A and B are shown apart, each in its own frame.
Chain A
């Protein structure tokens, strides 16, 4: 996983609520056995017309937002399925940070695990940042994870909250498994204790 420290980038405004995981990546594109290559299908139904040509009205088909690395939306971004293909598609498109008033739980988790920083901010702040984003290519936002602030194009700083453990893992680009395995002794102890207390828990063994 890539580290996330300071990101200065173009932000794309997508002022919609309840952007679901089927919108981010429709199910018919989930047949891959790899993590990469999904960017071309990100927001497929909004980005392309039925004949496969680009829909010029969709923000990510417009300059400068084709190069957006930040996405700003309204409430409940990523609702729906648990498919990690949703953050993989965003990441493959180039998105490293998503900003919204709220996120669906699993999507929020999946973002962190793929080096995408989800930032929850009040709706009116999201609206302001969308206004900033509409000012064009020179109007970039800076997301500083170490200082936990977004720097607006006029220099004003917007502070944000982030889970301290998640923040640390993103800053260092660490994956969870290695970290959990440092607690392997505790896992083994737990298993031994439970095998005694609840010996009836069956093992799944097929003939």
Chain B
């Protein structure tokens, strides 16, 4: 057999049947369900008299809409409450396993899946959310789907898809101090652009990726979608196996050993073909952030905002100017020193215990700058509990941060956590689109450590000055 990539191997092992036009009926191992993209799918099942083919391969959780304040109080926003209650009715009617709002296991679906051992290497994993690519960090083929496809997976446990092309992004070398997985991924997106991975599944490789812990790999794979890719992947290795071992829903004992033996066969073969290869040197990557309203507008924190006058294409030039106007920035200005109003540390990109530790190491012994609102939103109830066990909550609270309950929160502002028009936010989330964090809000994407640095200085700041 010809040498195959990690993607090829997972794909091949899940093809149920190939249709004449090469569309595959692809078997799905795990379906993650949340309240925003599922109601119309359940309704579709109900109307056609269908059931879930495999409730035991499905897990539901509420995350997008949930308040991150006191959970014992009723949910104030009526339409959010309705969406949550609709999911609760649906999981009961269709027998879907569910982590309710008051469960310690509740959290952002892309934090919960790996944390519980529900997402495992070699699996196909889908969810009605584009950041499903996160689970690729385990060496699983994981991608976001629309609601029609959610219904399709519920009814058939499969999805119709054509194979993606293979792309490899290699980051060799060792990153410098203050440079995190978030900086590596933003640098990659800045390099290849938001359509750089369109039609491809990206395998991340090289020593700088292999040295990352699982949280870092999840940050990388999470933002594959911001590079336009269908999915991101990291080959499973000892770091992966140690992470999975002992998780509540992971195989145990002999079954685990059998699974590991299989997972070890998944890494790409020597000489496997990639349609595109991109290489970056870790030493060239510095702490970075975005200046505009597209995730590809990445500059070093030591850099200057670009000048539209230097762009030859008129429609792109106009778009750059529109971004500057929206963001309230001047062409050519230094980005460091720009005052921020809000700091958001959370989201499926950066809300794991490792992210909170990184932020706490900068916050410790310092104070949030006057006039800045700084929020910490853990990715799950489990992450929150662990952080409290380690005393991180005290570090944050003493520094003047808010310590909140788990959910998607200000990443997309579907719950009350929103920016007001004109507010500038240093955010560890994944999208800086216009209005993403609230109408008129201005988002700078950066790492948890950089976000904490912005909180304590009140401005966009090179975290290396605080290490």
> Do A and B interact?
yes
Please judge, given known A-B contacts A26-B439, A204-B57, A204-B97, whether A76 and B198 are in contact too, CB under 8 Å.
Answer: yes
User: Size class of B's contact patch?
Assistant: 35 or more
- A95-115 toward B: CB 8 Å interface, digit per residue (1/0)? 000000010111001100110
Interface flag for B29 (CB, 8 Å): yes
- B160-199 toward A: CB 8 Å interface, digit per residue (1/0)? 1010000000000000000000000000000000110011
- B113-128 toward A: CB 8 Å interface, digit per residue (1/0)? 0000110100100001
Q: Are A105 and B198 in contact (CB under 8 A)?
A: yes
Q: Are B160 and A176 in contact (CB under 8 A)?
A: yes
Q: Are A104 and B228 in contact (CB under 8 A)?
A: yes
Bound together, the chains give a CA A206 to CA B56 distance in angstroms of 9
Interface flag for A131 (CB, 8 Å): no
Interface flag for B157 (CB, 8 Å): yes
Q: Are B56 and A50 in contact (CB under 8 A)?
A: no
Bound together, the chains give a CA A203 to CA B43 distance in angstroms of 25
Please judge, given known A-B contacts A35-B40, A76-B198, A187-B158, whether A83 and B146 are in contact too, CB under 8 Å.
Answer: yes
Partner of B195, one of A35, A75, A205: A75
Interface residues of A in 176-207 (CB under 8 A from B): 176-177, 180-181, 183-184, 186-187, 190-191, 194, 198-206
Bound together, the chains give a CA A191 to CA B53 distance in angstroms of 11
Q: Are B250 and A202 in contact (CB under 8 A)?
A: yes
Bound together, the chains give a CA A96 to CA B147 distance in angstroms of 18
Partner of A105, one of B43, B83, B228, B431: B228
Interface SS majority for chain A: loop
Q: Are B315 and A16 in contact (CB under 8 A)?
A: yes
Bound together, the chains give a CA A102 to CA B197 distance in angstroms of 12
Partner of B228, one of A16, A45, A76: A76
Bound together, the chains give a CA A170 to CA B332 distance in angstroms of 49
- A80-92 toward B: CB 8 Å interface, digit per residue (1/0)? 1111100100000
Interface residues of B in 300-331 (CB under 8 A from A): 315-316, 319
- A11-53 toward B: CB 8 Å interface, digit per residue (1/0)? 0000111101011001110111111000000000100001000
Q: Are A187 and B27 in contact (CB under 8 A)?
A: yes
Q: Are B25 and A183 in contact (CB under 8 A)?
A: yes
Please judge, given known A-B contacts A200-B258, A202-B250, whether A106 and B145 are in contact too, CB under 8 Å.
Answer: yes
Please judge, given known A-B contacts A82-B144, A113-B146, whether A26 and B435 are in contact too, CB under 8 Å.
Answer: yes
Interface flag for A155 (CB, 8 Å): no
Contacts of B414 in A (CB 8 A): 27-28, 30-31
- CB-nearest residue of chain A relative to B434? A45
Bound together, the chains give a CA A203 to CA B82 distance in angstroms of 30
Bound together, the chains give a CA A84 to CA B129 distance in angstroms of 10
Bound together, the chains give a CA A110 to CA B203 distance in angstroms of 25
Interface flag for A74 (CB, 8 Å): yes
Interface flag for A57 (CB, 8 Å): no
Contacts of B199 in A (CB 8 A): 105
What is the minimal beta-carbon distance from B138 to any residue of chain A, in angstroms?
14
Please judge, given known A-B contacts A102-B195, A187-B25, A190-B16, whether A17 and B56 are in contact too, CB under 8 Å.
Answer: no
- CB-nearest residue of chain A relative to B83? A31
Interface flag for B73 (CB, 8 Å): no
Q: Are B262 and A33 in contact (CB under 8 A)?
A: no
* Interface stretch (choices B148-156, B280-288, B387-395): B148-156
Q: Are A199 and B255 in contact (CB under 8 A)?
A: yes
Bound together, the chains give a CA A50 to CA B421 distance in angstroms of 9
Please judge, given known A-B contacts A32-B79, A177-B50, whether A187 and B148 are in contact too, CB under 8 Å.
Answer: no
Interface flag for B23 (CB, 8 Å): yes
- CB-nearest residue of chain A relative to B230? A105
Bound together, the chains give a CA A130 to CA B59 distance in angstroms of 45
Besides the known contacts A18-B194, A203-B57, 14 further A-B residue pairs in the complex with CB atoms under 8 A apart? A16-B319, A20-B294, A32-B79, A50-B439, A80-B431, A82-B128, A83-B37, A84-B37, A104-B195, A109-B145, A180-B155, A180-B158, A181-B156, A204-B118
27 A-B pairs in the complex with CB atoms less than 8 angstroms apart:
A20-B294, A28-B413, A28-B414, A30-B36, A33-B39, A33-B43, A33-B82, A33-B83, A34-B39, A35-B40, A45-B434, A45-B439, A76-B194, A76-B228, A79-B195, A80-B431, A82-B37, A82-B130, A102-B198, A104-B195, A180-B158, A180-B160, A187-B27, A199-B258, A203-B56, A204-B59, A206-B97
Task: Please report B residues at the A interface, Cβ cutoff 8 Å.
Answer: 16-17, 19, 21, 23, 25, 27, 29, 36-37, 39-40, 43, 48, 50, 53, 56-59, 64-65, 77, 79-80, 82-83, 86, 97-98, 117-118, 120, 123, 128-130, 132, 143-149, 151-152, 155-158, 160, 162, 194-195, 198-199, 225, 228, 230, 249-251, 255-256, 258-259, 262, 294, 315-316, 319, 412-414, 418, 421, 431, 433-436, 439-440
